Amino acid sequence: MSTNSRPYIFVIVILLAIFGAYNYVVYNTDGYVTVEKLPPVAIKGQQLFQNNRCWSCHQLYGLGGYLGPDLTNVYSAEGKGPSYIKAFLNSGVKSMPQFNFLEEEKNALVEYLKKVDETGIYPNYEAEIEATGWVKLKYRNEK
């Protein structure tokens, strides 16, 4: 008895070829959201933010502790910005301790908060759901 298995092999080869092509496209296409790398000074700021537990009282994108306000857009908020941020670091306020940061460290924290600010708006009321099921957000760096 001889069954001709060639058609099956042919189908399998075609399926593998489609699978390969599909993976090639998926892994060589830029993602839905472009990834931006933080410059070294902002990474230092992020480390300071973590090591000094700013998270325990503050939120970024609404996540974190709730003793102090959300800092996502403190960099660009009207009447706020770099020197405003530094003033709080210098003096402390209410339950926020006074930090004895070096000027260089304060600059790093400001740079980090600047980068965070560039990524988006919180709370973001301009989010919309697309037909594909993705949520389209308005990004800060979108011109």
Q: Which is nearer to ligand HEC, 15 or 120 (CB)?
A: 120
Identify whether the C-beta of residue 73 lies closer than 8 Å to the C-beta of residue 121: yes
Q: Is 93 in the site for ligand HEC (CB under 6 A)?
A: yes
Residue from 42, 60, 74, 116 touching ligand HEC (CB under 6 A): that is 74
The continuous run of DSSP H or E covering 92 comes out as none
Q: Which is nearer to ligand HEC, 20 or 39 (CB)?
A: 39
Residue from 60, 85, 108, 116 touching ligand HEC (CB under 6 A): that is 85
Q: Is 90 in the site for ligand HEC (CB under 6 A)?
A: no
Closest C-alpha among 54, 63, 65 to residue 108: 54
Q: Which is nearer to ligand HEC, 14 or 93 (CB)?
A: 93
Q: Which stretch binds ligand HEC (CB under 6 A): 19-27, 30-38, 85-93, 127-135?
A: 85-93
Residues 21-60 touching ligand HEC, rule: CB under 6 A, are 49, 52-54, 56-58
From the number of C-beta atoms within 10 Å of its C-beta (0-12, 13-18, 19+), residue 105 rates as middle
- Please, what's the b/e burial string for 22-57 (b: 16 or more CB within 10 A of its CB; e: otherwise)? eeeeeeeeeeeeeeeeeeebbebbbebbeeeebeeb
97 secondary structure, DSSP code? P
Least distance to ligand HEC, CB of residue 28, Å:
39
